[in-house]
Chains A and B, each alone.
Chain A
Amino acid sequence: MKLFCIYCFVLLAILPNLCSAQKHDTLSNIKVFAKKNSVSSTSPTPVQILNTVDPSKTNSISVADALKHFAGVFVKDFGGVGGLKTVSVRSLGANHTGILYDGIALGNAQAGQIDLGKFSLDNISEIVLHNSGPSDLLSTAKAFSYASLLTLKTISGDNNIDTTNAISLKIQSGSFGYISPSLAIQKKINNRIIVSLSAQYQNAVSDYPFISYENNKSRLRRNNSGISSFRMETDIGFQVNEHNKINFKSYLYNSKRGLPGAIVFFNPISNQQLDEKEMFVQGSWQKSLSLKSEILFSGKYEQDLSYYLDPSYPNNYGRLENEFHQKEIYLSGVYSYKFSNNLKMSFAADAFNNKLTRTDFFAKNFATPTRNSFLNNIAIQFKKNRFEFTGNLLYTIIDEKVKTGETANSFNRFSNGLAFSIQPFKTVPFRTRIFYKNIFRAPTFNDLYYTNVGNTKLSPEFADQYNIGFTYEKNQLLIFKRCWITIDAYYNEVRDKILAAPRQNLFQWSVQNIGKVKIKGIDIAHHTVLKDWKNIQVNTDITYTFQQALDVTNAASPLYKTQLSYTPKHSGSASLSVQHKKILLNYNILFSSYRYKQGDQVYQNLLQPFTTNDFSVSYFTKKKYADFKFMFEANNIFNTQYEIIKYYPMPLSNYRLTLNISFKQKKTK
């Protein structure tokens, strides 16, 4: 209710001002090619960036879709707009990927992984994937606590004081009953305060056809996979001066979806439902205390609800409900100090309080855990000429309490990361980089306390990463305006991997620290921008990933030293975009070699290799009063039937149409 009041307040504050914004100007140049690549090629740890209008290049509607175009990334996609989509980087598992949303970690202490299908690209301006930790020393301790870090920057959160008042309306519609209107408003209250709002409604029936598994001929339709969701974000940026900024964000997400489940042969019945409500408010204050020192304070309060219903569960009540409430309070402070032009250090301290309660009728002796986590991090960066060194030491304390039953062990751990990068020859834009990082992920509340399955004796799951890479970046080379390539080879080890395994029979599962995985891989990313030719701009992106991820859990098991389930040896993407004046064409290809699901690597567990081809055409035009953008997307144009998770068929050919109108006020000066 409190949050709702804040929303109302913000809305009321904005509306009158908007009405007075009569005079509009055209949008600044559409920054299609604004890739900030230099970071990717100079960073001592691998960094991949997709920014500004780029997300729309990938024929994606969610962050998860866009991430499929990154090297080393596997998006576990259960299909459809509402299907769960989690991200595993370099085969370490989704629980090792952290996500920062406008600088502050998204939490899910219950499941430990975030559904990135929830994050529409509508309000995202930049997606960055760091294979180790953050590049910026002025980061929270939590940001250093993952094996890989994904940072999402929102458009509404980018409260640059140079922006002007703007309203943007967008409507998107597509195959299988997809419709999504959205609205973005940005209002400059005065020279210091900017307020913005982004709201989006999504509805998808998602009853897409797929080729029947039962006879490989007829077409069936996906059943119970619809979703409707609403998201609203408001941001307030307060800039005292260039060195003193305060940002405040509130976020609301509501969704209702069907859980279609895996295709069950001869049985099309599916009726399980999931409702989710998420709300958070977060703020940060960044201030330069002097030319040498800087502080960053952040805080967050989050409240989530998830309600699961199985309306045909064969118990006495004929239904099963799970209603979980999560609460998170988070505070962080960072101080950075520049000793010299070469040496910079930072210290960060974070504190989290997470609570999970279960309130449904069927809750019986639920543990109701509360977790307090404290993270302290020291980071150092040394840069001289063509050499760079970064390192960090993280100390984590986790302490838990429960209302009923056994409590998980408290624990504390040191983790660290080291990275070097060097450009050996002054005149050759070639760099080499090495990094090492060890980190762990704590057992989630589900791992510890899930009824009958959870195991409070669990210890953390560890991941070690070793990486050696080369980057080459050259401007004005032959026909290229810009050209860069990065190649990274890595070795990862996951120890004490937390897995659920049956005990005496298939009714009794328990979560245990039993897995061990050894991963060898190569990630290649290549990007070019061609020199303009007759007003035609062309750029290309190619990524390739090789992965050998071997299960070395048990030497006696038939699965010993076999490739991890759902891990292709080869995968990659290619995209080409061509712009001529107001028209932009994009063509994207995604490729994956064969994989197996869990179990024996035999034909019945095989997932066939696939290639998908997506195409889009956009048209931009500027009128006196507004800018218009039309986009037509054709996805999977060759009608390939493929699956990422066995028996979760992905959609065949499908289409989307987008219309975007932006009104922008002229600068008064």
Chain B
Amino acid sequence: MNFRKTSIAFVSVVAILAACKKVDVPVAVAPVLLSPAVGEYILSEGSFGGNNTKLAFYTNNTVSLSGDFFLQQNPTLTAGLGEIGNDAIIYGSKMYVVMNGSGRVTVLNAASAILIKNISFLNNTVNKQPRYAVGAKGKVYVTSYDNTVSVIDTTSLSIIKSITVGANPEGIAASSNFLYVANSGGFNTTPDSTVSVIDLNTEQEIRKVKVGVNPYKIEINTAGNIFVSAYGDYGNIPASISVINGSTNTTSTSLGSNFAYSNIRIFGNIAYFYGGTGTAKVYNTATNTIVRNEFITDGTVVQTAYGLNIDEQNGDVYIADAGNYTTAGKVICFNSMGVKKFSFSTAPGINPNKILFKR
């Protein structure tokens, strides 16, 4: 394990960040390893039927914003990214944008956002509906609503394998040896409530672990435990957070009714739960204590926290605010104490859901 950690720390700074899930690096060490971000990419998924996914780029030094950076960098691609950009990750030197409605993963140069290739997820008469991606061991793993995880070879940029998991998988996270996939079953009358554990060496599902109803996002803390947020059934069953013990991968425990959050982001051992009451709850996963019930301390109002990410170099927290879901969103940057530093609009992008750092 030690060897792994060290090697990861040295191999590729960009790659670590990109994957965003491999935060095995201790908090205190991170600032030393990372150079400050030169800017942030913001993915705005757009509206249903709107074909209006936007990738924006905000530069920290010159304070300039390009709301449609993808078009700026690819001026001949006037149709843009397409319908419902559900997720984006940077892995290695590439950015992978998961286009749920358009049924493809668009691969960009992570430094320039210039198109490299589109990988189709259309399967004869069915759109597999790709959802979330994670990079691990030189490959990118993409969940799709058709109960699969597609394995993308990052050099040939093609799908080389499909792993069958549970119903309508959503979030995915990778530890050094395992992939964890949230089986939402959200399209069934009774949602699913399991996480598929996939052995990264055999690329086979080895087990399903029971978690909260309708699981959505997965994050892993420094200690190697797996945190799973779940939507519930939008009715009687509330949202929930479950924790899978990473050393056994067999059972999970719920954090209880005070943790009705559908979304989650972990930095080191600090978890940010959002998509519930207030903007975000801050929780120390090492000590199992609530750090703050409300992350924001200066009264800044976030209407709809739709995405959250942490700049691992300085601990700043970026929250993507989808507002009323129909007009341009915004991104607000806070320091780790919950005090607003700056904000910017994602116009013309609506429903911003992902913030990525360029270094």
Q: Is there contact, CB below 8 Å, between A314 and B168?
A: yes
Residue contact B186 to A507, C-beta cutoff 8 Å: yes
**With A215-B79, A314-B187, A364-B189 as given contacts, are A600 and B350 in contact (CB-CB < 8 Å)?**
yes
Q: A266-B118, A316-B188 are in contact. Are A598 and B103 (CB under 8 A)?
A: no
Alpha-carbon distance A304/B276, docked complex (angstroms): 41
Mask of A601-612 contacts with B, CB within 8 angstroms, 1/0: 011100000000
From known contacts A505-B275, A557-B327, infer whether A267 and B234 are also in contact, taking CB-CB under 8 Å. Answer: no
Whether A452 and B234, one on each chain, are in contact in the complex, defined by CB atoms closer than 8 angstroms, is yes
Interchain Cβ contacts under 8 Å between A and B, 5 examples: A265-B82, A505-B231, A558-B327, A600-B327, A647-B49
Minimum C-beta distance from A143 to chain B (A)? 36
| A264 pairs with B102, CB closer than 8 A | yes
| Cβ contacts under 8 Å, A597 to chain B | 50
Q: Are A502 and B325 in contact (CB under 8 A)?
A: yes
What residues on B are CB-neighbors of A269 within 8 Å?
103, 122, 125-127
Residues 208-267 (chain A) with a chain B CB within 8 angstroms: 213-216, 261-267
- Within 8 Å by CB of A602, from B102, B103, B347, lies B347
Pair A314/B49 contact, Cβ less than 8 Å: no
Name the contact of A267 in the complex, choosing from B47, B80, B122 (C-beta under 8 A).
Answer: B122
Is chain B's binding surface mostly helix, strand, loop or mixed? Answer: loop
- Enumerate B184-237 residues with CB–CB distance to A below 8 Å: 186-189, 231, 234-235
Which residues in A have their C-beta under 8 angstroms from that of B118? 266
Evaluate contact between A262 and B49: CB separation under 8 angstroms: yes
CB distance from B210 to the nearest CB of A (A): 18
Closest 10 CB pairs between A and B? Answer: A265-B82, A315-B187, A262-B49, A314-B145, A266-B102, A214-B79, A267-B103, A599-B326, A265-B51, A312-B126
| Minimum distance in angstroms from B183 CB to a CB of chain A | 12
Provided the pairs A269-B122, A312-B125, A315-B188 are in contact, do residues A213 and B348 lie with their beta carbons within 8 angstroms?
A: no
Question: Is there an interface contact between A267 and B83, defined as CB atoms closer than 8 Å?
Answer: yes
Q: Are B275 and A504 in contact (CB under 8 A)?
A: yes
Q: Is A599 a contact partner of B47 (Cβ separation < 8 A)?
A: yes
Q: Which of B83, B186, B187, B276 contacts A264 (CB 8 A)?
A: B83
A504 touches B262 (CB 8 A): yes
A432 to B304 Cα, complex, angstroms:
51
With A313-B187, A315-B187 already in contact, the answer to whether A600 and B348 are too (CB < 8 A) is yes
Which chain B residues lie closer than 8 Å to A452 at the CB level? 234-235
Say yes or no for B78: interface residue by CB 8 A criterion.
Answer: yes
CB distance from B112 to the nearest CB of A (A): 22
Given contacts A269-B122, A557-B327, contact A362 B231 (CB under 8 A): no
Given the complex of chains A and B, what is the CA–CA distance between A430 and B142 in angstroms? 72
Near A by CB (< 8 A), chain B positions 93-149 give 99, 101-104, 118, 122, 125-127, 129, 145-147
Q: Encode contact with B along A587-630: 1 for CB under 8 Å, 0 otherwise.
A: 00000000001111011100000000000000000000000000
The answer, yes or no, to whether B324 is at the interface (CB within 8 Å) is yes
Q: Is the CB of A507 within 8 A of B231?
A: yes
Residues on B with C-beta less than 8 A from A19 are none
Known: A266-B102, A314-B187. A599 touches B82 (CB 8 A): no
* CB neighbors of A among B2-32 (8 A): none
Nearest neighbor of A562 in chain B, beta-carbon distance: B327
Instruction: Tell me if A125 counts as interface (CB < 8 A to partner B).
Output: no
Interface string of B134-167 (1 = CB under 8 A from A): 0000000000011100000000000000000001
Instruction: Report B-chain residues with C-beta under 8 Å of the C-beta of A506.
Output: 48, 325, 351
Tally of B interface residues using CB under 8 Å: 48
Q: Tell me if B328 is interfacial: C-beta within 8 Å of chain A.
A: yes
Contact partners of B49 in chain A: CB under 8 A: 261-262, 264, 646-647
What residues on B are CB-neighbors of A559 within 8 Å? 326-327
Q: Is B52 an interface residue (CB 8 A)?
A: yes
Q: How far is the CB of A551 from chain B (nearest CB, A)?
A: 11
- For the complex with contacts A265-B102, A501-B325, 12 further pairs of A-B residues with Cβ separation under 8 Å are A264-B82, A264-B101, A265-B83, A267-B101, A502-B325, A504-B275, A507-B186, A559-B327, A597-B50, A599-B327, A600-B327, A600-B328
A269 and B83 CA atoms in complex are apart in Å by: 13
Contacts of A262 in B (CB 8 A): 49, 51
**Chain A residue nearest in CB terms to B121:** A267
- Does A271 reach chain B (CB closer than 8 Å)? yes
Q: A314-B147, A504-B275, A600-B348 are in contact. Are A215 and B78 (CB under 8 A)?
A: yes
Contact with B along A482-515 (1 / 0, CB 8 A): 0000000000000000000110111110000000
Which A residues are within 8 Å of any B CB, using their own CB? Answer: 213-216, 261-267, 269, 271, 312-316, 320, 362, 364, 452, 501-502, 504-508, 557-559, 597-600, 602-604, 646-647
Q: Which residue of B lies closest to A315 (CB)?
A: B187
List the A side residues contacting B50 at CB < 8 Å.
597, 599, 604, 646-647
Closest chain A residue to B351, Cβ basis: A506
Bound form: Cα–Cα A522–B2 in Å: 76
B78, A216: Cβ atoms closer than 8 Å: yes
- The 8 Å CB contact of B348, one of A316, A501, A604, is A604
A599 to chain B, nearest CB (A): 5
Flag if A266 contacts B146 (CB, 8 Å). no
By a CB distance below 8 angstroms, the chain B residues around A603 are 348
- By a CB distance below 8 angstroms, the chain A residues around B79 are 213-215, 265-266
Over the window 266-295 of chain B, the binary record of Cβ atoms lying under 8 Å from chain A Cβ atoms (1 yes, 0 no) is 000000000110000000000000000000
**Do the beta carbons of B127 and A267 come within 8 Å of each other?**
yes
Main secondary structure of the interface of A (DSSP, over half): loop
* Smallest CB gap from B349: residue in A: A604
B261 to chain A, nearest CB (A): 10
A142 to chain B, nearest CB (A): 34
Q: List B contacts of A214 (CB < 8 A).
A: 79
Chain A's closest residue to B45 (CB) is A506
Bound-state CA distance A603–B67 (Å) is 13
Given A213-B51, A315-B187, are A271 and B326 neighbors across the interface (CB < 8 Å)?
no
- A647 and B102 CA atoms in complex are apart in Å by 14
CA of A600 to CA of B323, assembled, Å: 12
Residue of B nearest to A645 (CB): B49
A265: B residues at CB distance < 8 A = 51, 79-80, 82-83, 102
Complex alpha-carbon distance, A566 and B42, angstroms? 29
For the complex formed, measure the closest distance between the CB of A400 and the CB atoms of chain B, giving whole angstroms: 21
* Chain A proximity of B324: nearest CB distance (Å): 6
Contact across chains for B351 and A316 when beta carbons are under 8 A apart: no
Query: Would you call A505 and B262 a contact (CB within 8 A)?
Result: yes
Choose one: A314, A320, A604; the contact of B146 (CB below 8 Å): A314
Give Cα A150–Cα B254 distance, bound, in whole angstroms.
Answer: 58
> For residue A315, which residues in chain B have a CB less than 8 angstroms away from its CB?
167-168, 187-189
| Pairwise interchain contact A508-B234, C-beta atoms closer than 8 A | yes
Q: In the complex, are the beta carbons of B348 and A266 less than 8 A apart?
A: no
Whole-angstrom distance between the Cβ of A479 and the nearest chain B Cβ: 51
B73 to chain A minimum Cβ distance, whole angstroms, is 17
- Closest-by-CB residue of B relative to A262 is B49
Nearest CB to that of A506 among chain B residues? B325
Most buried by A among B189, B328, B351: B189
Query: Closest approach, in angstroms, between the C-beta of B211 and any C-beta of chain A?
Result: 18
Is the pair A602, B348 in contact by a Cβ cutoff of 8 Å?
yes
> In the complex, how many angstroms separate the beta carbon of A471 from the nearest chain B beta carbon?
41
**B351 and A266 form a contact (CB under 8 A):** no
CA distance A558 to B345 in the complex (A): 12
Which residue in B103, B147, B186, B325 is a CB contact (below 8 Å) of A266?
A: B103
Please, how many angstroms separate the alpha-carbon atoms of A647 and B50 in the complex? 8
Q: Which residues of B contact A364 (CB under 8 A)?
A: 189
A216, A265, A364, A559 — most chain B CB neighbours (10 Å): A265
Complex Cα distance, B84 from A262, in Å, reads 13
- Given the complex, which residues of B lie within 8 Å of A267, measured CB to CB? 82-83, 101-104, 122, 127
Contact present for A600 and B347 (CB under 8 Å): yes
- Cβ of A215: which chain B residues have Cβ within 8 Å of it? 78-79
* A175 nearest CB across to chain B (Å): 26
Q: Which of A261, A312, A506 has the most CB of B within 10 A?
A: A506
B51 touches A647 (CB 8 A): yes
> Which residues does chain B contribute within 8 Å of A502, judged by CB atoms?
325
A364–B235 Cα distance when bound, in Å, is 14
Question: B158 to nearest A CB, angstroms?
Answer: 17
